[in-house]
Amino acid sequence: MTPLFSRRLHFVVGKGGVGKTTVAAALARMLSERGLRTLAVEMDTGGRLPAVLGVPVAVGTPAAVTPRLSVVSIDGRAALEEYLGLIIPVKRLLSSVFSSRIYQYFVAAAPGLKELMTVGKVWYETTRQEGGRPAWDAVVVDAPATGHGLQYLRMPQAARDTFGAGLVQREAQRVVDLLQDARTTAVHLVTLAEDMAVTEALEAHAQITGPLGLSVGAVIVNRVHVRRFAPDVLGILGCAAAAAHADEGALLHAVEERAIEESSWAAINAQHLERLRMALGTTTLVELPHLFAEEFGAGEIEILSRRLAEAAALPAARRA
């Protein structure tokens, strides 16, 4: 595989409503279908990733989707308790900690603790070994909507810089090192070829590559409309609708309206795709088609998975 999707840890970030979870599911499926043991991670227990992949909610413990693909939802509090279980092996002492009022207050009041422990759980799954080898060849993380998602990625740095020398700083530094290792980790931005979504994607790109110091893998433009007919077809449809009998004319007129709508969306998308190309420079741009389906399911995920695989196989000069 090319460097585009060859890293072990993939964060999928994007504005709400752009299809980020769908893209994360398609990417995880694509990696697993190429022989990689893949874990799809949802940074929230109320999201849709397990359902999109066809399994019930799996909080804390990965649930198998296929022999090479599993999915898990992370709860920040549960991740903290799992971590404490690793460093406090005495169950009686651990039980006393969990039941104490100080601990309960700390968990409820500590700012950023949920985000820090959630990213820590991602680090654990990415680096965990089984039988002398990594437990997962690839980890795909469906992050929250852009602003909250960047907050998750920012928390390990904030914890490292806030706490003095000690356990928290050391653990936070290990997470930061993983996130900033461009050989291991990539952040993929999902957007639509529309004004507000593109603006937010470009702002996120600047944050990720600037203050956060992370590597952007690809900007994935979802639901792209492409006109698949010549412009003069619209005129032909209009003339045919006017000349046809009532029922046929109504049908042709409806087809003409949909063709005009699709042509307009294609023009809008093309304009914003060009804006992205101009602003992103060498960053890889991957286009995913708008899929017309009454119900979005496994078949559509498979189509998007194949398109991502095609993008990964293209030489850099041809990606777009």
* pLDDT tens digits, one per residue of 25-71: 999 999 999 999 999 999 877 778 999 999 887 788 899 999 999 99
Q: Which domain holds residue 120?
A: 3-226+275-318
Adjacent-strand bridge partners of 224: 289
pLDDT of res. 189: 97
Residue 234 lies in a domain: no
Indicate if the pLDDT at residue 118 is higher than 90.
no
Report the CATH number that the domain containing residue 49 is assigned in CATH: 3.40.50.300
State the pLDDT confidence band at 193, using cuts at 50, 70 and 90: very high
Alpha carbon dihedral 147, 153, 158, 163, in 10-degree steps, equals 140
Residue 239 lies in a domain: no
Per-residue burial over 186-215, b = 16 or more CB atoms within 10 Å of its CB, e = otherwise: bbbbbbbbbeebbebbbebbebbeeebebb
| pLDDT tens column, 63-105 | 999 999 999 998 877 777 776 666 566 666 657 655 766 556 5
Residue 308 lies in a domain: yes
pLDDT of res. 110: 57
Q: Is the separation of the CB atoms in 186 and 216 below 8 Å?
A: yes
pTM of the model: 0.86
Checking DSSP bridges between strand 133-134 and strand 129-130, what pairing results, if any? antiparallel
Residue 267 lies in a domain: no
Residue 241 lies in a domain: no
DSSP alpha helices (H): ranges in the chain?
A: 20-33, 49-53, 76-87, 91-99, 101-109, 113-127, 146-162, 167-179, 195-209, 232-243, 246-280, 298-313
Residue 254 lies in a domain: no
> CA-CA distance, 230 to 149, in Å (whole number)?
41
| pLDDT tens column, 133-191 | 999 999 999 999 988 899 999 988 988 888 777 777 888 899 999 999 999 999 999 99
Residue 209 lies in a domain: yes
Number of folded domains that form the chain? 1
